[in-house]
Amino acid sequence: MDNIFRIENISILTQALNQGKPKHPLISVIDFSSVDLESIVRAGNQKAAIDFYCIMEKNLVPGSLKYGRKHYDFQEGSLFFMSPNQVFELESPKKSECIYGWGLFFHPDLIRGTSLGKKMSEYTFFEYDTNEALHVSEDEKSTLKAIVAGIDNELSRAIDKHSKSVIASNIELLLNHCMRFYDRQFITRNEPNKDIISDFERYLRSCFDPGNIDTAHLPTVKQCADEMHLSPNYLTDLLKKETGKNTIEHIHYFVLEEAKNRLLGSSSSVSEIAYGLGFEYPQYFNKLFKKNLGMTPMEFRNLN
């Protein structure tokens, strides 16, 4: 069984990275050029779980960080986000490799009770997979680096009653820029996105294909994302940007279209149709149908 090094607070993190005592107990900015990754790996701390948020802008030859079962592609100017309790694995770099960039690490307690704390769920990229990293331009890198430098400067000040709100506001500014840059990334990848949407719609059609009795089912968001080789959040955000509907809305649209076809094209009962579409409980099918179409399945059948 793999041993996982638990990093419960900022102090443990800075000590593990040989950075000394942190300036603030709940947040730290790390300059990766000062981190001796090879010695850390030699010490046996390869696999770790961090109990706080991480934003890392790193430039490194690919293959030195393993997240889950995937190697993270550290392309030039890429940002990677992690939410608390995620596990990652370090691998020893080659002698010719160098690492630089920055990392911002902050504990959930830092933003608890702030406006940022209330809206953290909106920054869905913290749940993206590693292959869905944010790739930023030189101008975008400069913008983010300036904000991080401002946070680091604030950490050098003595903590006072304004520290928490000032730091949280700067983190929120950083994340808002990242959200903007992700929106730009979705746009610039328009053609690949269209291929994903086509594959996604093809998959949904196959789920409700009456000819595939053994495989027909009502898919979950995770099943759809797995089929597209994407994280659930990334797929939902991509669909929302491109079509205006999120993943679950697409699933509901396809299942209801198929339901209407079966209601009008067969003599099967509503319950039989519900079970045939993958619903465990016909009541849920009835509720979904009425919510979206304003009438029950039976009312729809009788009307037509």
Q: What is the mean pLDDT of residues 168-172?
A: 97
d(C-alpha 167, C-alpha 145), whole Å: 15
pLDDT per position as a tens digit, 81-113: 999 988 776 655 555 455 678 999 999 999 999
Higher per-residue confidence, 209 vs 119: 119
Q: What is the mean pLDDT of residues 23-34?
A: 90
Q: What is the mean pLDDT of residues 229-242?
A: 92
**Which pair of tokens denotes residue 149?**
């430098």
For the chain, which residues make up each domain, given as ranges? Answer: 5-188, 191-303
pLDDT per position as a tens digit, 135-161: 888 899 999 999 999 999 999 999 899
Instruction: For residue 17, give the amino acid letter.
Output: L
d(C-alpha 271, C-alpha 259), whole Å: 11
Note the pLDDT of residue 186. 87
Residue (of 213, 301, 223) closest to 263 by Cα position: 301
Instruction: List C-alpha distances in Å: 12 to 7, 147, 158, 276.
Output: 6, 25, 21, 53
Q: Which CATH architecture has domain 191-303?
A: Orthogonal Bundle (1.10)
> Is pTM, for the whole model, over 0.85?
no
**Which pair of tokens denotes residue 76?**
């030039």
Q: What is the mean pLDDT of residues 48-53?
A: 87
d(C-alpha 210, C-alpha 208), whole Å: 6
Contact 61, 74 (CB under 8 A): yes
Instruction: List C-alpha distances in Å: 153 to 23, 159, 185, 195.
Output: 10, 12, 30, 44
Say if 5-188 and 191-303 have the same CATH topology: no
3-state SS, residue 214: coil
What is the chain's Cα-based Rg?
A: 24
Domain over 5-188 is classified CATH 2.60.120: yes
Instruction: List C-alpha distances in Å: 24 to 11, 52, 150, 207, 244.
Output: 9, 14, 14, 51, 42
d(C-alpha 254, C-alpha 207), whole Å: 9
Residue 66 has pLDDT above 60, yes or no: no
Judged by average pLDDT, the poorest of 10-24, 41-55, 61-75 is 61-75
Residue 63 has pLDDT above 80, yes or no: no
Q: What is the mean pLDDT of residues 251-269?
A: 91
